[in-house]
Amino acid sequence: MKQLLVISFLFSLSFQSLCFAEPAQVVKLDPLARFHPVIAEKGVTVSQEAIASQVGTDILAAGGNAVDAAVATGFALAVTLPRAGNIGGGGFMLVHLAEENKTIAIDYREMAPAAASRNMFLDAEGDVDRVKARHSVHSSGVPGTVAGMIYALENFGTMSLKQVMQPAIKLAHKGFPVSRSLASSLVRYSDYLGSDPASRNYFYRADGEFYQAGELLVQKDLAVTLKRISKQGRDGFYTGKTADLLIAQMRRNGGIISYEDLLNYKVVERQPVCGDYRSNRVCAMPPPSSGGVHLIQMLNILEGWDLNALGHNSAAYLHRLVESMRRAYADRSLHLGDPDFYAVPAEQLMDKRYAAQLRKQIDPGKSSRSKDIQPAPTKVINESTDIESTETTHYATWDRWGNVVSNTYTINFSYGSGISVAGAGFLLNNEMDDFSSKPGSANGYGLIGGEANAIQPGKRPLSSMTPTIVFEPQGEPIVATGSPGGSTIITVVLQMLLNVIDFDMGIAEAAAAPRIHHQWLPDTLRYERGISVDTLNILTEMGHSLGDKPVRLGVTQSIASDKNKIKYAASDPRREGAAAIPE
């Protein structure tokens, strides 16, 4: 423990130098933390980017609560993790308040502009114009992140916006050393980032070369925008200079987001969806995320088997996972959308009797074919009370008082649409592609949708983001987790929970264990390296169609707590640069 405190002290020293010296210093990471959880007696922050984790933990150490730290981390990631951290996108924040024993879901998902229309991405032949949907100013929904962060802070935080935004402003203004992961992703995405003049200016060197790891990335325009927000709050983004720059960007390129759309952006506080799994209560994001509903639906199906007895990642276990996933994603395609526009049958989908009915369809020795599985017709589900990338980033904060934040936010693809708002320094999302532009036509994650997720003015595109908090029977939070990964997010979070609850894994082991994914269509079982060839052969014999080669699924950031309120935090080893940092 003494050693951990020393590590924590060194981290806090490195952060002080990061904030107050010029230029910023690299946070030194404990390489063992990739395999062992970081242990915290007080608070802890875990995120996909070490400097931002340090920002959150510094706020905790300065007396802030988990929400203060989460907002500070969110703004810091907008600077240090431009591929997914953002002020030009949106997301979902789950907040557990210890004293009130209450959990809140904050929906700050992007909204379709008022001029958006159902067929806006269809070309003359009636096909989806993928470039328009994913890499144009039309790809962007009205951003919600700034409103969401401010809403969380004003309602559940204790610090001022200036206090929590100061580290992000400094990081943008003075620069921070480019990590290896950032340097290589800027090379990888240079095709579309480099084709937008503002993005080229912001993310590539003045001589046109790529940044090398260790060089400083300074973002002056972003610093000014962040400063405006810190001074003026919501108005610093949704009106005034920032709004002028965003609207000018739209008008130059025929985009449709208007001043009115910005003014009308609204954060929605929702009830999380919760379900009981074995003796635990699992709470996650409700629609317009599909994450919570289908996480609980799959857990309900799986609860009928003794998974531990089947053996972790055995063929018998993975077969049951796949068949549960297949059915949940089939239902997703028909029934999930923005609940303010479409009557999502969430209760019915999460009904244990409906899960029992689905479980009965699963042959323990034989794969079904996705073409034979259809989403339940609405009337069957309604009657069923008697039956029953991929980018995005997740982070979590847990304070010494037991308040917990589990937050997933995104600009959709890595670097969103690739288009930056010239003069304002931030990337625009391409979240409009998460709508179903044409029934039966797959989006960027291969997901199919229909009426429930059709484009409508003011509507929020269906998401898979699944920030989750698990509670033990007495109601104490025991796990906060989540992941990026587009359509794979829900199945990644599912396997995290099963690893911890059914297989007694510690949080770092649970994060590292190989995963699989199935989403009904395409009818392909995707798997990670580490699932044995013997197991894959048995799954093939059972009739499953395997992907050609292993893929990487998700990048979790998780915190667990034991009965003595000691926290164990772990960043997924699949992506470098992440860190869990104790107070």
Binding region for ligand GLY (CB under 6 A): 392, 410, 412, 431, 434, 463-465, 486
Q: How far is the CB of 447 from ligand GLY (least distance, A)?
A: 9
Looking at the Cβ atoms of 431 and 502, the one nearer to ligand GLY is 431
Q: Is 354 helix (H, G, I), strand (E, B) or coil?
A: helix
- The 10 Å Cβ neighbour count of residue 274 is 17
Looking at the Cβ atoms of 69 and 284, the one nearer to ligand GLY is 284
The token pair that represents 363 in the structure block: 């042959």
Return the residue nearest ligand GLY (CB atom): 463
Residue 427 in contact with residue 111, Cβ under 8 Å? no
What residues contact residue 344 under an 8 Å CB cut-off, 6+ apart?
Answer: 287, 293, 335, 336, 337, 452
Q: How far is the CB of 369 from ligand GLY (least distance, A)?
A: 26
Q: How far is the CB of 53 from ligand GLY (least distance, A)?
A: 22
Query: What amino acid occupies position 404?
Result: V
The token pair that represents 49 in the structure block: 């980017």
Angle 2-20/50-61 helices, nearest 10 degrees? 100
Q: How far is the CB of 342 from ligand GLY (least distance, A)?
A: 17
Q: How far is the CB of 132 from ligand GLY (least distance, A)?
A: 17
Looking at the Cβ atoms of 24 and 268, the one nearer to ligand GLY is 268
Q: How far is the CB of 62 from ligand GLY (least distance, A)?
A: 32
Q: How far is the CB of 449 from ligand GLY (least distance, A)?
A: 12
Looking at the Cβ atoms of 60 and 452, the one nearer to ligand GLY is 452
Residue 220 in contact with residue 425, Cβ under 8 Å? yes
- Nearest Cα neighbor of 197 from 419, 495, 34 is 419
Looking at the Cβ atoms of 141 and 255, the one nearer to ligand GLY is 141
Q: Is 551 left (phi over 0), alpha (psi -120 to 50) or beta?
A: beta
What residues contact residue 94 under an 8 Å CB cut-off, 6+ apart?
Answer: 103, 104, 105, 106, 272, 283, 284, 285, 404, 405, 406, 407, 467, 468, 469, 480
Query: In the annotation, is 392 catalytic?
Result: yes
Q: CA-CA distance, 258 to 361, in Å (whole number)?
A: 49
242, 392, 408, 410: the active-site residue: 392
- What per-residue string of b and e applies to 36-49 under the rule 16 or more CB within 10 Å gives b? ebbbbbbbbbbbbb
Place of tokens 């004003």: 154
Q: Is 440 helix (H, G, I), strand (E, B) or coil?
A: coil
The token pair that represents 241 in the structure block: 């200079």
Residue 335 in contact with residue 375, Cβ under 8 Å? yes
What residues contact residue 307 under an 8 Å CB cut-off, 6+ apart?
Answer: 317, 320, 498, 502, 503
Residue 40 host element (H or E): strand 38-40
Q: How far is the CB of 431 from ligand GLY (least distance, A)?
A: 6
**Which residues are annotated as catalytic?**
392
